[in-house]
Structure 1
Amino acid sequence: MNTTSVRAPQDDIAAQHWQGGPICCTDCEYSYLLSLGEGQGCEPGHACMQDAYARRIDRFFRWNPMLSDEQLGHAYFEVRAIAARRASVFRLTALINDPDETVRLQVALRLPQTLLAKLVNDPHREVRIRVAQRLAPPALAALRHDPDYGVRELVAQRLPLPILSTLANDPDRAVRMRVAQRLEMPALLRMADDTEAEVRRIVAERLPVALLSHLSHDADWRVRWEVAQRADAHTLHSMQEDAEPEVRQVVQDRLAHHIIPLGASHG
């Protein structure tokens, strides 16, 4: 087999065929591109679809984006994944069930909304995360019970408010924290009984001032400290004997200086 002299940038990974061994241009279907020159053809060791190195494959398709559609069925997953970045969106449906998650990840980044839902049950979490980032909010309900908390956390950030409360009892604290940051009354008040102090602290930041007494004697001092920052005079007086010095100090300072604003309501 005839091999071709290649140019690889200094300190770069040595050029190698994706199946192993040297690069051979004589057997390549795109050998005619060699004569086109840099930026519009190919160059072994620099811009080559046969190379194992993703950066050189990407450079090849940047120089020749019109060839992307032709290589969506290539045997090497890196070629399929990189070709998918520039291929026609109408051809991407053929890759929805590609065996490699790297390819499906690229598909998830480009599929139109009408087809994106086909990836909500993808076996790889990174693909589902991209879906959760792009899917139209009304369609996110399908991912509320995803097995990965990272996916559900993204859903909690984007889910429409009318159905956000369905995640208020999520088993993961991080998801419930995202819910507490967005939830409106009266559903927000129900989260004042959450088992995690970090969730209750967020609730204390957002509850209407008139309802802060629900958390004024919370078991965690950080929650009570948040309450003291915003509470009205009646609630502050009930907190003067708090067991935590930091909380008592905030209460005393606010009462002493009559700094008792009504505070911001939820939302």
Structure 2
Amino acid sequence: MSARMVAEPEAPIEALDWQGRPLRCQDCPHEDMHAEGRCDLGKVCVADRRRKRIDRFFSNNAALAARYLCHPYFEVRALAAKHASIFLLAPLKDDPEADVRVTVAYRLPLARVKDLRFDPEPRVRIAVMDRLDGAEIVPFFSDTDYNVRVAATRRAPPDSLVLLMHDPEPDVRRAVARRLPQQHLSRMAADADPLVRLEVAGHLTPEDLKILAQDDDMRVRFAVAERIDPKFLAPLANDEVAPIAEVARQRLSLA
């Protein structure tokens, strides 16, 4: 027998419905579709509990999506909403499951979903915000969920991000530092969080990096040593952290 073990094929994942019961084609109202290749137990099935299998079913049979908008399993409703006519989706704005409301927020005309900006689920509010532009995104800066505020920083007008420079969440301030215009960015060099200052160090101009050359955090100083204008490198060549001093000396030797 060969020393190399022959890998056995993975066993197929059992086909179960959303309540954990085994599935049989004989029990399905779409059994006739199996012969046409439009469904396949364990792979393409609306009765399955696995999201990918349900989605494949609606991809193959979009015309049937309308029948499933009130299905008791939220994954079925969410995926049916992805494929059904938009004229049928308005009642789903009040669906108890956030996944369904997210789909509706992306698909209905924008004028019909703006009220979902006040939805209790952050993902729904982000879905609405993703469809807005410019100044319409600024109100999301005051959202109670920091994930919404982070998402807002990615699409809001860069000049408006000064409003989030002092956000209580470091992740939000880091996101701000990535897009804040240069004329405001130096104001974040004194941020209390070293990871925010590290982000600032990655985006300041080489000339402006001198304000971070003596930062308390070695990660920040290392980033500065890699990018700072050579005329400000000398102090970093004597840094107490050897890798920082080495980078500074190497750059000075090439200047």
Structure 1 and Structure 2 fold alike (TM over 0.5): yes
Structure 1 residues 226 and 43: CA distance shift in structure 2, 3 A:
closer
Contact 2:25 2:31 in 1 (8 A): no
Unmatched segments (≥5 aa) in structure 1:
1-9, 260-267
Match of 2:93 in 1: 96
Unmatched segments (≥5 aa) in structure 2:
1-10
Match of 1:184 in 2: 181
Match of 1:117 in 2: 114
Distance 1:225 1:167 in 2: 26
Larger proportion of helix: 2
Structure 1 residues 177 and 17: CA distance shift in structure 2, 3 A:
closer
Q: Sequence identity of aligned pairs in percent?
A: 36
Contact 1:15 1:44 in 2 (8 A): no
Rg: which structure is higher?
1
Contact 2:212 2:221 in 1 (8 A): yes
Distance 2:227 2:25 in 1: 72
RMSD: 3.4
Structure 1 residues 60 and 245: CA distance shift in structure 2, 3 A:
closer
Structure 1 residues 231 and 97: CA distance shift in structure 2, 3 A:
same
Q: Establish whether residue 221 from structure 1 lines up as the match of residue 218 from structure 2.
A: yes
Match of 1:206 in 2: 203
TM-score, with structure 1 as normaliser: 0.73
Q: Which gives a bigger RCO, structure 1 or 2 (Cα 8 Å, sep 6+)?
A: 1
Distance 1:212 1:13 in 2: 58
- What amino acid does structure 2 have at the position aligned with 1:13? E
1:189 to partner: Cα distance: 0.9
Match of 2:68 in 1: 71
Match of 2:151 in 1: 154
Structure 1 residues 216 and 99: CA distance shift in structure 2, 3 A:
same
Contact 2:15 2:48 in 1 (8 A): no
Q: Establish whether residue 237 from structure 1 lines up as the match of residue 234 from structure 2.
A: yes
1:99 to partner: Cα distance: 0.9
Moved more, 42-51 or 181-190: 42-51
TM-score, with structure 2 as normaliser: 0.76
Q: Establish whether residue 61 from structure 1 lines up as the match of residue 61 from structure 2.
A: no
The number of equivalent residue pairs is: 244
- What amino acid does structure 2 have at the position aligned with 1:157? R
Moved more, 205-214 or 184-193: 205-214
